C-alpha cells in the first residue's frame, strides 16, 4: 500500500512538472541550442545547406564589409552601455537617495519616476521621434522659444547627435527601474548603521561613498548586469527611431539591428542570411554570457567584502 | 561660550539638513517634471489639430475636441490591435500562471530526486536573451505551422514567463506552513484536492507579483510579433502602432492620439495599482 501511494504521488508530480518543463524545453532551450548549430551551416533562404565549419564566424569578423559593420555596431553598443551606466544607473542612484529621505511628496515622485517604465518601448520611441522632429518637434520649438536657436539641431538626422538622442530617450524610459531597485536596497540598510554613521561624520559624501554605496552593492550588481544585457540586446528603440539601417549612415547601428538585418534582410539590402545571422547571434550570446558572468562574479565579490 | 558654540553647531546642522534636503527636493521635482512632461504633452496633443500642435505645443487643449480619436476609431484597425493584444496577453497569462504554479507547487511542496536539477533548468531560462534565438524560433514556428498565428506569440511568451514565475512562486510556496496540508492528508484528501482547495488560495499574493512581472513585458512586446506575424488583422498593439504611424505621418494630431490611446490602458492600471506594479516589476531584481 505505501508503495502504491508513492507511485500515485510520483505520477502526480510528473503531471505537475512535465507540461511547464516541456514549454521551456521546446521554446527556450531547444532554440538556443539550435542557434549554435545553425551558425555552422550555409543557408539558402530557409533551407539548410552544407556544413561550413567556422566560415560564417570568419566572415562576420574578418571579411569586409561585414567586419566594419560588426565593429561599427559593437562600438555603438559599448558607448550605449557606458552612457546609460551614467545616465540611467547613476541618475537612478541619485534619485533613489533623494526618494529614500521620505521628503514631502516622495510617494508621488516615486510613482512618477516609474511611470515611463511601464510604457511600451514603441510608444516611447515614437513619442521622442515626434518630439525631436527638426522643425515641428517640441524640443526644437522650445529651444527656439528661449532664444537658443543655434542649439535647435536635427537631433536624429545627423551622425553626431543621433545615437545620443536615442540614449537620452532610453534613459528617460528606464531610469525608474534602477531608481526603485536602489531605493529598495537603501530601505534595507539597518537603522543602527545609519545612526552610527551620523555620529562619526557630518559629510554627506562620506556617508554615501562609505556607507550607502557599499551596502546597496547587491542592488548595484543586479542593475549593472541587467543594463549590460539590455545594452547589448538593444533593438526596439533604435529600430523605431533610427530604422533598421541605423540611420543616418549607420551612426546609430547596434548589434541588435545588424543581427536582425543580416538574418531577415531589409527593404534595401533584401538578402537574408540565416548562417551569418546565427554566427552573429552566437558571438553576441557568448560575449554577453562571458562578460555578464565575469561582471557578476566581480560585483558579488565586492558585496562579500563589505 | 560652550552653549553658544553648541547652538551654533546645532543651527548649522539644521541649516545643513535643510540645504541638503532642499537640493534633493529640487532634484526630485525637476525629475518628476521631466518624467511627466512628455506624457502630458502627448495627451494634450491628442486633442489638438496638427497646426495647433506646431503653434502651441504646451497649451491646454479643448478636451471636447475628439476628432482625432474619432478618426482612429473609424479609419484604422486600432480596435482590432487592442483586442488582439488582450487575447494574446490574456491567454499567455493564463498559461504562465497555471503552468508556473504547477511546477512551483511540485518543486516547493514535494521532495523528489531531480527537483534541484529541474529548478536549475527553469532558472537557466531566466538569464538567456531569447531574442538571439529568433532564427531557430522562426523555423520552429514554421515547422509547427503557427507562423502568422497568435499561438506562436502565446507559446513564446509562456515559455519566457515561466522561469520568473517558477522562481517567485517556488520560494513562496516553500515558505507556506504544512500543518493544514498534513491535517488534510490525515483525513484522506487526495494530493490534487489538497493543492486545489487548501494550498492554492494561499498563493494568490505571489501570483499577483508574478503576474504583474510578466504582463507588462508581454503587453508591450514588439520583437516577436515583428518576426512571427504578417497579417494585419492578427497584429498586437505595439506592432499595429508601427503601421498606423507610417500611414498618418503628417497628421500629428492623429499620431499623438494613437500613442495616447495605446498608452492609456497601462497608464490607468499603473496609477491604480502602482504599489503592486513597482513590487512586481522589480521583484526579480530585489531580493
A86 touches chain B (CB under 8 A): no
3-state secondary structure of B129: coil
Higher pLDDT, B127 or A112: A112
Find out whether the peptide bond into A248 is cis, omega within 30 degrees of 0: yes
Q: What is the arithmetic mean of pLDDT over A32-37?
A: 90
What CA–CA distance (Å, rounded) separates B240 from A123? 11
Q: 10 Å Cβ neighbour count for A65?
A: 8
In the prediction, which pLDDT does A269 show? 56
Output the nine-digit C-alpha cell for A44: 539558402
Closest-CA residue to A66 (of A232, A248, A273) = A273
Best residue of A20, A126, A140 to probe chain B, by most B CBs closer than 10 Å: A20
Nearest CA in chain B to A134: B54
Q: 10 Å Cβ neighbour count for A286?
A: 11
Q: What is the pLDDT of residues B30-61, one digit of tens each?
A: 999 999 999 999 999 999 988 888 888 888 88
Q: What is the pLDDT of residues A119-164, one digit of tens each?
A: 999 999 999 999 999 888 899 998 988 988 888 888 998 989 999 9
- Is the pLDDT reported for residue B1 higher than 60? no
Q: Which domains does chain B have, with CATH numbers?
A: 77-247 (1.10.3720.10)
In the prediction, which pLDDT does B89 show? 96
Closest-CA residue to B150 (of B217, B210, B90) = B90
- Reported confidence tier of residue B266, pLDDT bands at 50, 70, 90: very high
Instruction: Using the Cα atoms of residue A182, residue A183, residue A184 and residue A185 in order, give the sign of their dihedral.
Output: positive
- Is the pLDDT reported for residue A230 higher than 70? yes
Distances (CA, A) of B177 to A40, B119, B173, B202, B234: 52, 21, 9, 10, 45
Find out whether the peptide bond into A65 is cis, omega within 30 degrees of 0: yes
Question: Which range among A92-106, B124-138, B146-160 shows the weakest confidence by mean pLDDT?
Answer: B124-138
What CA–CA distance (Å, rounded) separates B197 from A8? 19
Dihedral pair phi/psi, residue A41, rounded to 5°: -120, 155
A32 touches chain B (CB under 8 A): yes
Higher pLDDT, A63 or B268: B268
- Reported confidence tier of residue A66, pLDDT bands at 50, 70, 90: confident
Beta bridge partners of A47: A44
B29, B38, B122: residue with CB nearest A131: B38
In the prediction, which pLDDT does A122 show? 94
- Reported confidence tier of residue A42, pLDDT bands at 50, 70, 90: confident
- Is the pLDDT reported for residue B128 higher than 80? no
Closest-CA residue to A226 (of B162, B217, B127) = B127
Q: Number of Cβ pairs closer than 8 Å across A and B?
A: 247
- Is the pLDDT reported for residue B18 higher than 90? no
Q: How far is A24 from chain B (nearest CA, A)?
A: 5
Contact predicate A211/A193, CB 8 Å:
yes
Q: What is the arithmetic mean of pLDDT over A216-243?
A: 92
Q: Which domains does chain A have, with CATH numbers?
A: 1-38 (no CATH), 65-305 (1.10.3720.10)
B220, B252, B267: residue with CB nearest A121: B220
In the prediction, which pLDDT does B153 show? 96
Contact residues on chain A for B241, CB-CB shorter than 8 A? 120, 122-123, 126
- CB-based contacts of B21, cutoff 8 Å, min separation 6: A101, A103
CA dihedral B235, B238, B242, B248 (to 10 degrees): 100
In the prediction, which pLDDT does B4 show? 44
Q: What is the pLDDT of residues A266-290, one digit of tens each?
A: 655 567 888 899 999 999 999 998 9
Dihedral pair phi/psi, residue B196, rounded to 5°: -70, -50
Q: How far is B170 from chain A (nearest CA, A)?
A: 12
- Reported confidence tier of residue B5, pLDDT bands at 50, 70, 90: very low
In the prediction, which pLDDT does B15 show? 61
Q: 10 Å Cβ neighbour count for B61?
A: 17
In the prediction, which pLDDT does B14 show? 62
- Is the pLDDT reported for residue B7 higher than 60? no
- Reported confidence tier of residue A236, pLDDT bands at 50, 70, 90: very high
Output the nine-digit C-alpha cell for B176: 507556506
Distances (CA, A) of A131 to A124, A155, A161, A166, B69: 10, 10, 15, 12, 20
- CB-based contacts of A183, cutoff 8 Å, min separation 6: A96, A99, A100, A110
Q: What is the arithmetic mean of pLDDT over B186-202?
A: 86
Q: Which parts of chain A are beta strand (E)? A: 41-44, 47-51
What's the longest Cα–Cα distance across chain B? 89
Q: What is the pLDDT of residues B57-108, one digit of tens each?
A: 888 888 888 889 998 888 888 899 999 999 999 999 999 999 999 999 999 8
Output the nine-digit C-alpha cell for B25: 527636493
Distances (CA, A) of A223 to A8, A98, A175, B284: 44, 18, 11, 11
Nearest CA in chain B to A243: B242
- Reported confidence tier of residue A3, pLDDT bands at 50, 70, 90: very low
Question: Exposure string (b/e) for B213-222, b if CB count within 10 Å is 16 or more?
Answer: bbbbebbbbb
- Is the pLDDT reported for residue B129 higher than 50? yes
Percent of chain A at pLDDT > 90 equals 48
Amino acid at each position: 500500500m505505501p508503495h502504491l501511494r508513492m507511485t500515485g504521488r510520483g505520477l502526480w508530480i510528473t503531471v505537475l512538472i512535465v507540461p511547464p518543463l516541456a514549454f521551456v524545453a521546446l521554446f527556450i532551450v531547444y532554440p538556443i541550442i539550435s542557434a549554435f548549430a545553425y551558425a555552422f551551416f550555409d543557408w539558402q533562404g530557409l533551407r539548410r545547406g552544407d556544413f561550413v565549419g567556422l566560415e560564417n564566424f570568419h566572415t562576420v569578423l574578418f571579411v569586409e564589409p561585414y567586419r566594419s559593420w560588426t565593429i561599427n555596431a559593437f562600438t555603438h553598443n559599448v558607448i550605449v552601455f557606458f552612457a546609460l551606466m551614467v545616465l540611467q544607473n547613476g541618475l537612478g542612484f541619485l534619485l533613489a537617495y533623494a526618494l529614500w529621505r521620505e521628503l514631502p511628496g516622495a510617494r508621488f515622485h516615486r510613482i512618477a519616476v516609474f511611470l515611463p517604465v511601464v510604457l511600451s518601448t514603441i510608444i516611447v520611441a515614437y513619442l521622442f521621434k515626434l518630439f525631436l522632429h527638426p522643425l515641428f518637434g517640441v524640443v526644437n520649438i522650445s529651444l527656439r522659444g528661449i532664444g537658443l536657436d543655434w542649439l535647435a539641431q536635427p537631433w536624429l538626422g545627423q551622425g553626431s547627435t543621433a545615437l545620443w538622442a536615442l540614449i537620452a530617450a532610453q534613459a528617460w524610459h528606464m531610469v525608474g527601474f534602477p531608481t526603485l531597485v536602489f531605493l529598495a536596497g537603501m530601505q534595507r540598510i539597518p537603522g543602527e548603521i545609519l545612526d552610527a554613521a551620523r555620529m562619526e561624520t557630518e559629510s554627506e559624501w562620506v556617508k554615501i561613498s562609505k556607507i550607502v554605496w557599499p551596502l546597496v552593492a547587491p542592488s548595484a550588481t543586479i542593475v549593472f548586469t541587467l543594463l549590460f544585457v539590455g545594452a547589448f540586446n538593444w533593438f526596439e528603440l533604435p529600430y523605431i527611431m533610427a530604422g533598421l539601417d541605423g540611420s543616418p549612415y549607420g551612426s546609430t547601428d547596434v548589434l541588435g539591428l545588424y543581427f536582425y538585418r543580416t538574418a531577415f534582410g531589409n527593404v534595401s539590402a533584401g538578402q537574408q542570411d540565416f548562417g551569418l545571422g546565427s554566427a552573429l547571434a552566437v558571438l553576441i550570446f557568448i560575449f554577453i554570457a562571458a562578460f555578464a558572468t565575469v561582471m557578476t562574479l566581480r560585483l558579488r565579490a565586492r558585496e562579500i567584502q563589505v | 561660550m560652550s552653549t553658544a558654540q553648541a547652538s551654533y553647531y546645532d543651527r548649522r546642522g539644521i541649516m545643513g539638513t535643510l540645504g541638503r534636503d532642499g537640493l534633493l527636493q529640487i532634484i526630485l521635482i525637476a525629475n518628476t517634471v521631466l518624467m511627466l512632461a512628455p506624457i502630458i504633452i502627448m495627451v494634450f496633443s491628442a486633442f489638438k489639430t496638427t497646426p495647433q500642435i506646431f503653434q502651441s505645443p504646451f497649451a491646454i487643449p479643448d478636451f471636447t475636441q475628439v476628432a482625432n480619436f474619432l478618426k482612429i476609431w473609424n479609419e484604422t484597425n486600432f480596435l482590432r490591435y487592442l483586442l488582439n493584444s488582450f487575447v494574446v496577453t490574456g491567454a499567455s497569462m493564463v498559461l504562465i500562471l497555471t503552468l508556473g504554479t504547477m511546477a512551483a507547487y511540485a518543486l516547493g511542496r514535494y521532495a523528489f530526486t531531480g527537483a534541484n536539477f529541474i529548478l536549475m533548468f527553469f532558472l537557466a531560462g531566466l538569464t538567456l536573451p531569447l531574442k538571439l534565438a529568433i532564427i531557430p524560433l522562426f523555423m520552429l514556428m514554421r515547422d509547427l505551422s503557427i507562423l502568422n498565428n497568435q499561438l506562436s506569440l502565446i507559446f513564446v511568451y509562456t515559455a519566457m514567463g515561466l522561469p520568473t514565475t517558477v522562481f517567485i512562486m517556488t520560494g513562496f510556496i516553500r515558505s507556506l506552513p504544512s500543518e493544514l496540508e498534513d491535517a488534510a492528508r490525515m483525513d484522506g484528501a487526495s494530493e490534487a484536492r489538497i493543492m486545489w482547495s487548501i494550498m492554492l488560495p494561499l498563493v494568490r499574493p505571489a501570483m499577483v507579483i508574478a503576474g504583474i512581472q510578466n504582463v507588462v513585458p508581454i503587453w508591450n512586446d514588439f520583437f516577436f510579433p515583428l518576426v512571427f506575424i504578417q497579417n494585419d488583422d492578427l497584429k498586437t498593439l505595439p506592432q499595429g502602432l508601427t503601421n498606423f504611424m507610417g500611414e498618418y505621418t503628417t497628421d500629428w494630431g492623429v499620431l499623438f492620439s494613437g500613442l495616447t490611446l495605446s498608452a492609456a490602458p497601462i497608464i490607468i492600471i499603473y496609477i491604480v495599482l502602482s504599489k503592486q506594479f513597482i513590487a512586481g516589476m522589480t521583484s526579480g531584481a530585489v531580493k
